Amino acid sequence: MATPWLPLTDAAQLAAIVQESYAHPVFIFKHSTTCSISAAAKAKVERQWPDTSLPADAAIYYLDLLRYRPISGQIASEFSIEHQSPQILMIQDGQVRYHASHMGIRLSEAGAALAAK
């Protein structure tokens, strides 16, 4: 199964994503399309996604930082998480339950954070 990327392209989507997180975990992957480290982290997520113990209905949004950088600032402000690139956040019940950046991104750790809830 391929990673089911959903585009995050509008700041108004963030409120909907927070609401969605009450139904199932939601991920936001922040990606710089010109950065080789970001490309490697994205490939790592794509390899890990099918093999995780995450719920089948978990959603993963893709934020292109070059095109939509202000949304990253909004995410940092709303969740009090410093902006990084690449970065992944897992939101559940309106709160960030897991976040990591660069090559520290591990979906297995996100799954463990869900289990610990």
Q: In terms of pTM, does the model score above 0.85?
A: yes
72-100: pLDDT as tens digits: 999 999 999 988 899 999 999 999 999 99
Residue of 3, 57, 69, 78 whose CA lies nearest to 30? 69
Q: Tell me which CATH homologous superfamily contains domain 5-116.
A: Glutaredoxin (3.40.30.10)
64-73: pLDDT as tens digits: 999 999 999 9
The H-assigned helical ranges of the chain are 13-20, 36-48, 65-79, 107-116
